[in-house]
Chains A and B, each alone.
Chain A
Amino acid sequence: MNRRVLEEKIFKTLMLASVFIVMGSLVIIIGLVIFNGGSSLTIEMFTQTSSGGYYLGRGGGILNAILGSLFLALPATALACLIGLGIALYLQKEFTHPKVSGFIRLSLDILWGIPSIVYGIFCLMIMVFIGIGTSLLAGIIALTLLEIPIITRYMDESIKMVPIELKEGAYSLGSTKFETAVKVVRRQALPGIIAGVLLGLGRGIGDAASILFTAGFSDRIPESLFDSTAALPTMIYHLYASPYPLVRQRAYAAAFILVVIVLSISIVSRALSKRYTKYVIP
């Protein structure tokens, strides 16, 4: 056999092996989550809060963590969306000089790359400064900061693609820059915007490092913005190595629910993007 053909064969085998490794690790992850989480799921997990000391406590469910996660991630995503949309629209040519917007885009990319633990510890400093303890509010702020760069860059990329003719059409009819941005550009860029928002939501709901110090941990459902709260990721982080199997099961169940949430977000994102693409003028 020719040396070149042999090389081709060798590399093809290596490629198949690599794909096998990648897919295998996914199968292992999903398998572990379903196997451990599925067997720990009971009705009580959804209907009861954890009881009696989070690390050693027995019994109870993870309702406080499920609600805590939603209370943290939904407002954070909404805030990040508002701020992100403003920035993304403002970065376009009509508002900002390309040199300035290039610089802001670079700084957003850097913010995207900053480890979430740095956001966590930064927010902790702010909290100490203004004198609030671990709370829902602080967690929301940390997650908002974490999500802003992701959502903004996604929106920005899809808004950049809006054809200039469409905007000129709106301007020629006498609409202002702001009206064009909000009514024409937003609609045209909607599929990309939705994808970005849901990506940010998925990232926010799954992130533990940024809320570890800011949202804290508690057994109860938070009643005000200033209560500490548990969330699914922090629950997994705190409980996975507990000596009690019953407590560990709470971590597995939390992992299962978290993965289900993240997966449904990605499915919804695909479906919505497809749906709103219908209204986009090609």
Chain B
Amino acid sequence: MNKRKLRDFIGTKLMLIATVFVSLLFFVIFLILLYKSMFILETQSISELLLSSLWNPEKGEFGLYPIIMGTIVVTGISLLIAVPISLLSAVYISEYAPGKIRRVIRPFLDVLAGVPSVVYGLCAFLFLVPLVKDVIAPWFGIESTGLCVLTASVTLSVMVFPIIISLCVESFSAIPIELKEASLSVGATKWETVKKVIFRASAPSIISAILLGFGRAFGETIAVNMVVGGIPRIPSSLLHPGQTLASLIASAYGEMMSVPLYESALMLVALILFVVVLLFNVLGVVVLRRAKRRWGY
């Protein structure tokens, strides 16, 4: 075998090893998390863990229900805020804004996307927390420290903006101009064209953008941890503190080694995060395929 062939052989095999490594990584993470959370699953049933609302690691009670509810509420509200605002901004940027403004806005969006999450958390702590504490909470007549579900949701929604906006702008701009012209030429207003042509033609991309935004909001740890309050109880209002799954792991890290089963409980939380992300990705692929068939142009 000559030198070049040998190099080809070695190079190809090295690439194969890297590929196998990453394909395995996926299963290895899953199996290790599963193995580690088996310890707690042996003592308590999964339904008991997911539906009990008592979270007292010192007493060996690991009810995840309030934390799961907290995660759903925080993620849900952040998407409720982020999706309409991002969609409308994306429409403005791609359809209404003059070219000059469009060129200015895009780099700003990239900046917003690149800001590390811990800086989002810091800014929320410096700006939103006092705002909620001194202005919004008294307005509703509630005492609040400012560290609450609402603050966390708003912070997350700002983090999700750039993701949804840039993906949507990209897909809106990819729609053939003939489609828009056809709609405008039969007398539709610009907004009607957006509503009936653009939203429909790019529905698959909008769906996947929202799913990506969901993933970011759902798994965000540090920024949420800094402003959500970190109390594992079901929040009685948006202005009360709560806890989310990802943020729980970060807060509990310091104490988890001292209590038996605690570590295993946190592994279960990590496993839940992993499985949800997995399910949503697979769901995304399936929905995308169907949506493309339904709304494709």
Whether A132 is near chain B, meaning CB under 8 Å from some CB there, is no
List the one stretch of A46-54, A56-64, A118-126, A165-173 in contact with chain B: A118-126
Instruction: State in angstroms the CA–CA spacing of A46 and B190 once bound together.
Output: 54
Interface residues of B in 188-226 (CB under 8 A from A): 189-192, 194, 212, 215, 218-222, 226
Q: Which residues of A contact B277 (CB under 8 A)?
A: 110, 113-115
Q: Which residue of the partner chain, among B11, B33, B253, contacts A182 with CB atoms under 8 Å? A: B11
Known A-B contacts A115-B219, A262-B115; A19 and B92 likewise in contact (beta carbons under 8 Å): yes
Contact B32 A122 (CB under 8 A): yes
Q: Which residues of A contact B96 (CB under 8 A)?
A: 12, 15
Whether B89 is near chain A, meaning CB under 8 Å from some CB there, is yes
Contact B119 A258 (CB under 8 A): yes
Q: Which residues of B contact A126 (CB under 8 A)?
A: 32
Instruction: State in angstroms the CA–CA spacing of A8 and B187 once bound together.
Output: 13
Q: Which residues of A contact B226 (CB under 8 A)?
A: 237, 240-241
Contact B117 A206 (CB under 8 A): yes
Q: Which residues of A contact B138 (CB under 8 A)?
A: none
Contact A11 B88 (CB under 8 A): yes
Count of A interface residues, CB-CB < 8 Å: 83
Contact A91 B19 (CB under 8 A): yes
Whether A259 is near chain B, meaning CB under 8 Å from some CB there, is yes
Q: Which residues of B contact A103 (CB under 8 A)?
A: 23
Contact B125 A241 (CB under 8 A): yes
Contact A86 B165 (CB under 8 A): no
Instruction: State in angstroms the CA–CA spacing of A138 and B281 once bound together.
Output: 28
Contact A115 B220 (CB under 8 A): yes
Q: Which residue of the partner chain, among A108, A109, A178, A209, contacts B11 with CB atoms under 8 Å? A: A178
Q: Which residues of A contact B29 (CB under 8 A)?
A: 114, 118, 122
Whether A228 is near chain B, meaning CB under 8 Å from some CB there, is no
Contact B123 A179 (CB under 8 A): no
Interface residues of A in 245-261 (CB under 8 A from B): 251-252, 255, 258-259
Nearest CB of B to A271, in Å: 12
Instruction: State in angstroms the CA–CA spacing of A176 and B10 once bound together.
Output: 12
Nearest B residue to A32 via CB reads B123
Q: Which residues of A contact B221 (CB under 8 A)?
A: 115-117, 208-209
Nearest CB of A to B17, in Å: 8
Nearest CB of A to B195, in Å: 8
Contact B88 A15 (CB under 8 A): yes
Contact B114 A111 (CB under 8 A): no
Contact B116 A177 (CB under 8 A): no
Whether A207 is near chain B, meaning CB under 8 Å from some CB there, is yes
Contact B273 A12 (CB under 8 A): no
Known A-B contacts A8-B189, A118-B273; A177 and B281 likewise in contact (beta carbons under 8 Å): no
Nearest CB of A to B106, in Å: 11
Instruction: State in angstroms the CA–CA spacing of A97 and B259 once bound together.
Output: 48
Q: Which residues of B contact A145 (CB under 8 A)?
A: 25
Instruction: State in angstroms the CA–CA spacing of A209 and B253 once bound together.
Output: 11
Nearest B residue to A26 via CB reads B112
Q: Which residues of A contact B215 (CB under 8 A)?
A: 113
Known A-B contacts A14-B88, A18-B92, A29-B123; A263 and B8 likewise in contact (beta carbons under 8 Å): no
Whether B51 is near chain A, meaning CB under 8 Å from some CB there, is no
Q: Which residues of B contact A83 (CB under 8 A)?
A: 18, 21-22
Nearest CB of A to B203, in Å: 18
Whether B14 is near chain A, meaning CB under 8 Å from some CB there, is yes
Q: Which residues of B contact A5 (CB under 8 A)?
A: 189
Known A-B contacts A8-B190, A259-B119; A240 and B246 likewise in contact (beta carbons under 8 Å): no
Whether B16 is near chain A, meaning CB under 8 Å from some CB there, is yes
Nearest CB of A to B90, in Å: 9
Whether A1 is near chain B, meaning CB under 8 Å from some CB there, is no
Contact B92 A233 (CB under 8 A): no
Nearest A residue to B17 via CB reads A86
Whether B80 is near chain A, meaning CB under 8 Å from some CB there, is no
Q: Which residues of A contact B112 (CB under 8 A)?
A: 22, 25-26, 29
Whether B182 is near chain A, meaning CB under 8 Å from some CB there, is no
* Between-chain CB contacts (< 8 Å), 6 pairs: A18-B85, A18-B88, A19-B92, A233-B118, A258-B118, A262-B116
* B interface residues with partner A (beta carbon < 8 Å): 4-5, 7-8, 11-12, 14-19, 21-23, 25-26, 29, 32-33, 36, 84-86, 88-89, 91-93, 96-97, 105, 108-112, 114-123, 125-127, 158, 161, 165, 189-192, 194, 212, 215, 218-222, 226, 246, 249-250, 253, 266-267, 270, 273-274, 277-278, 280-282, 285
Closest 3 CB pairs of A and B: A206-B116, A115-B219, A86-B18
